[in-house]
Amino acid sequence: MRSYIKALIFDLDGTLADTIPAIAEAVNMALDSLGFPKRSEAEIRSFIGKGPRHLMSEALPREARESDPLLVDRALKLYDGTYAKTYMHTNRLYDGMEEAVLELAKYYKIAVLSNKQDQYVKALVDQLLPAGICKFALGTVNGVPAKPEPGTALRLAELLGVSPHDCMLIGDSEIDILTAENAEFDILSVSWGYSSKNKLIFKGAQDIVDTPDELLEYFK
């Protein structure tokens, strides 16, 4: 544990909550509207983490995507509409995470950083966490590079009133590891999300916790 840390910045998908079912529902509604076959939750899990455009690009059949330069734009627009109908189906945190975040909020500033669309990040944080616990929640907006680019992460540090070196990013993926490196944050990886522990180690993770209880122990 690093005693100089002042702010904990959590990833959302796969770190705070399992959002895959609601995402998969929306992706498959969009694909169905375009006349393409549905994707499994396992496939969709492998597509997430780099933002909604990447998600829909990967979900489309490659041949169709390559033959129609505008298809990804159409699919993304459909997904924006279908996810608006399903995102609130994510209505609980992972077991033990609410208790962990509530305890950590006594000692650290808490924020959320996600590659999900910004409006849905804010709405989900309001639904999933008690009022006042999360100081700021930021997602992707048009024209602003998503994680692992450091801009939004650094904006969060600025909003929280702390130096990047005072921040720890807590996430479940290689994208979070790279984001922390680019923003000069500390990083703590969690193994209960969408990347296996072995994959996190292969991607350079050094500190990994396996349960929300271990997350709390890490900061004692």
Tokens of 170: 């807590």
Q: Are 168 and 144 in contact (CB under 8 A)?
A: no
Q: Is the preceding peptide bond at 145 cis, omega within 30 degrees of 0?
A: no
Q: Catalytic site residue 11?
A: yes
Q: How far is CA 214 from the centre of its chain?
A: 20
Query: Which one of the listed residues 11, 18, 172, 176 is annotated catalytic?
Result: 11
Q: Give the separation between CA 101 and CA 106, rounded to whole angstroms.
A: 9
Helix (H) or strand (E) holding 27: helix 20-34
| DSSP state, residue 87 | G
Helix, strand, coil % (nearest 5) of the chain? 50, 15, 35
Q: Are 117 and 52 in contact (CB under 8 A)?
A: yes
Residues identified as active-site: 11
